[in-house]
Structure 1
Amino acid sequence: MGHHHDATTPKHEHDHCTQASHQAHHGGKHDAHFGHEGHTALAESEGGALSMREKLAKMLDHWQHHNEDHGTSYRRWAQHARSEGLEQVAQTLEAVAERSLALNELLNTARKQLEA
């Protein structure tokens, strides 16, 4: 059967963690640094080359970019929902987007604490 997309249906998008987007986002080093499962491969891949502070800094930057990407995706899908008359869904997705950005404020606080 396969997927059918007409003019009123948003194209199927893989907004969440596509390897191509992450490779572009991290200079092609996503697999080497972050791994898709839990983003814990960083510590293993770097061995003793990076200090814990450096590893944390990389992870904090990664998480912030991740939240920004997701926030954009949530807002885009809120617009799709709204165009289909799903106002409550749209409002909820917009709230999720706002919370993603609020998480980035906390991650930024952690980054500043790390640099202190």
Structure 2
Amino acid sequence: MMSSSSEVQYGGGDRGFPTKCDCGLRVVPLLLKTQENPGRLFYRCISKKDVEDAIPKLEIIDREITKTKTEVEELRTLIEDLKKDVARSQIEIRNWKALKAVCLLCVLWLCC
């Protein structure tokens, strides 16, 4: 629990939610889950142990972000390759249409 020391800093003046503990670290709001006081709001200092406990989780998140960035870059490369394939296919389709028109003209010329 937070003490009511004058060094506790509040987000909105002297009332409201505290933002800093007596020790100067940030506080986090939490809800009690006890039978006596379910849902009661209290504040806890972000202590060194909390930070140390978070480091492995942050390392996992960092690895996931790095992996995701790599996947995004691979997808960008794939998209660029697909765009090139589409452009080549469009040219090929135009060439086939032109060839079809020439063949049709040749067939009509030969038949007449």
**Radius of gyration: which is bigger?**
2
| TM-score between the two structures when normalised by the length of structure 2 | 0.30
* Higher helix content, 1 or 2: 1
| TM-score between the two structures when normalised by the length of structure 1 | 0.29
Q: Which has the higher contact order (CA 8 A, sep 6+)?
A: 1
